[in-house]
Amino acid sequence: MGDTGELRLQFVGEEGMKVNPTKQSPEKKANYKRWLRIGLYTMMLLSGQSVGTLLGRLYFANGGKSKWLATLVTLIGFPILLPLYMIKSPKTPPSSVTLQSKPPTAAKLASVYVSLGLLVALGCFLYSVGLMYLPVSTYSLICASQLAFNALFSYFLNSLVFTPFIVNSLVLLTISSSLLVFQTDPVSDDGSDGTVHPDSRAKFVTGFICTVAASAGYGLMLSLTQLAFKKVIKKENFRAVMDMIIYQSIVSSGAILIGFFASGEWKSVKKEMDDFHSGKVSYIMTLLWTVVSWQLFSVGCVGLIFDVSSLFSNAISALGLPIVPVFAVIFFHDRMDGVKIVAMVLAVWGFVSYGYQNYLDDLKTSSKLEDGLSNELSKASSP
C-alpha cells in the first residue's frame, strides 16, 4: 500500500538551508514523540490481534457454534473508528506534491471497495472455521503463511523483486505451515483441545485447509489493496486509508450479516447463550471484547500505516502471530510438542528475514532521498 520508508523534508527560503543548532532540540523532541506513537500503535496492534484470536477460540471452547456470528464480531465494530476522521493529516511539503490525473469515478471506487470487502468477508469466515476446528496455537502458526502468500501475489501484481531474504522467508514459512499437517492434537468435538473423537481428524484437516485458504485470501487482499492505491485511488493519505477500511468493513459486515440470517444461525443465539459453559454474562462479554479487540487492532494497523508504512504494519502483524501459541499453552493447555516448536522457530526466522528485507528497502529509499536533497543543495549553493 505504501513506500517502505518516508523522509519528510521542508525548506523555507535560503535560511532553511542553513544549519541552525537551536532548531535541533524541537526536531529531536518531535522524533521522540513520533516513536512513542509508533510504540503505542504497535502495542495496540499486537494486543488487539492476540486478544481477539484468543477470545475467538474461547467462544468456541465454551460452547459457541455459530461460525457466522464469530465472523461478524470481527468486522462489525467499524463505527468505533469513525472519530478518527477528525484527525487532520499533516500538510504535505511542496517538494513532495505529486500531480495527479483526474480523481477516480464513484463507480471505480465502489467496485474496489465492494470486491475487496467481499474478499475480506470470505477470508474472515474461513478464518472462523479454522479457529473452530483447530487448536489456537496450530491456527496461529498456520496464519504465518499469509506473508508468503502476500509476497507471491505481490510478485505478479505489484512487481515485487524476489531477493534472497524474501525467498528465504517464503521457504521457511511454507515449511513451518507444512509441518503442522503432522499434528496429532486436533480439537475434540466438545470444543476442548483434549481427547480426539473419531471424526476430529477430518475436522482438523478442514480447519487446516480453511486457514491456509484464508491466509492466501488475506495475502491477495493486501496485494490488491496496494494495486488499488497505485492504479485507482492514486493517493495514500490518512483519509484515503480510513476510507478503504471503513467502506470495506461496511461491505464485509453486510455480506456476513446476510449469511448469518440466511443460514438461520440467528435463531439459535438465545439457546447458545443459555448453554454457554461460563454463563450468559461471559457469553456477552466474550463477543463484546472480541469486537473491541479487533477494532483496537485496526487502529494500531492504521496508525502504523499512517506514521510509517503499510509494509511495516504488515510485518508487525505477522511478527505478532507467534505470541498467540505461547498464551494458548497457558490458557487453553495446548500441547507445545516438538513439531510446534520447530514450526514456531521457522516462522519467527521467516518473519525476521522478511522484516530485514523491508529494513534494507527502507535504507535504500532514504538514501535515494538524501542523495536527491544533496543535489538540490549543491545546485542552490552554486553561483
Which pLDDT score, from 0 to 100, does residue 310 have?
A: 62
Which pLDDT score, from 0 to 100, does residue 124 have?
A: 94
In this predicted structure, the answer to whether residue 157 has a pLDDT above a threshold of 70 is: yes
Model-level pTM? 0.79
- How far, CA to CA in Å, does 16 sit from each of 8, 11, 263, 320, 374? 14, 5, 64, 42, 14
Give the model confidence (pLDDT) of 229-281 as tens digits: 888 988 767 788 788 889 999 999 999 999 999 999 999 999 999 999 989 99
Which pLDDT score, from 0 to 100, does residue 101 have?
A: 60
Q: Which position has the higher pLDDT, 46 or 376? A: 46
Residues 6 or more apart whose CB falls under 8 angstroms from that of 330 comprise none
Q: Which position has the higher pLDDT, 282 or 365? A: 282
In this predicted structure, the answer to whether residue 207 has a pLDDT above a threshold of 80 is: yes
Q: Which position has the higher pLDDT, 215 or 32? A: 215
* Mean pLDDT calculated for residue range 286-291: 95
Residue with cell 457469553: 283
Give CB contacts under 8 A, 24+ apart, made by 90-99. 90/8, 92/237, 93/8, 93/9, 93/10, 94/10, 95/9, 95/10, 95/11, 96/8, 96/9
| Percent residues over pLDDT 90 in the chain | 31
Residue with cell 481428524: 201
Which pLDDT score, from 0 to 100, does residue 36 have?
A: 86
Which of 94-98, 200-204, 213-217, 354-358 bottoms out in mean pLDDT, i.e. has the lowest? 94-98
Which pLDDT score, from 0 to 100, does residue 148 have?
A: 80
Which pLDDT score, from 0 to 100, does residue 38 have?
A: 84
Could you tell me the pLDDT band of residue 75, with boundaries at 50, 70 and 90?
very high
In this predicted structure, the answer to whether residue 190 has a pLDDT above a threshold of 60 is: no
CA 54-348-337 angle, 5° bins: 65
Which pLDDT score, from 0 to 100, does residue 25 have?
A: 53
Which pLDDT score, from 0 to 100, does residue 54 have?
A: 92
Which pLDDT score, from 0 to 100, does residue 233 have?
A: 86
In this predicted structure, the answer to whether residue 10 has a pLDDT above a threshold of 50 is: no
**CB-neighbour burial class of residue 352 (10 A; exposed 0-12, middle 13-18, buried 19+):** middle
- Alpha carbon dihedral 217, 221, 224, 226, in 10-degree steps, equals -140
Which pLDDT score, from 0 to 100, does residue 339 have?
A: 79
Give the model confidence (pLDDT) of 307-358 as tens digits: 776 666 766 777 777 778 778 888 877 777 787 788 888 878 887 887 788 7
Rounded distance, CA 141 to CA 320, Å? 10
- How far, CA to CA in Å, does 99 sit from each of 94, 103, 372? 11, 11, 19
CB atoms within 10 A of CB 319: 20
* Mean pLDDT calculated for residue range 286-309: 84
Rounded distance, CA 326 to CA 336, Å? 9
Q: Strand, helix or coil at 204?
A: helix
Which pLDDT score, from 0 to 100, does residue 97 have?
A: 41
Cell numbers found for residue 115: 470486491
Phi, psi of 200 (to 5 degrees): -70, -30
Mean pLDDT value across the chain: 79
Which of 29-33, 149-153, 179-183, 192-196 bottoms out in mean pLDDT, i.e. has the lowest? 192-196
Rounded distance, CA 17 to CA 238, Å? 29
* Mean pLDDT calculated for residue range 166-195: 65
CA-based nearest residue to 67, from 139, 126, 134, 137: 126
* Mean pLDDT calculated for residue range 48-63: 92
Q: Strand, helix or coil at 13?
A: coil
Which pLDDT score, from 0 to 100, does residue 245 have?
A: 85
Rounded distance, CA 203 to CA 187, Å? 8
Cell numbers found for residue 286: 466474550
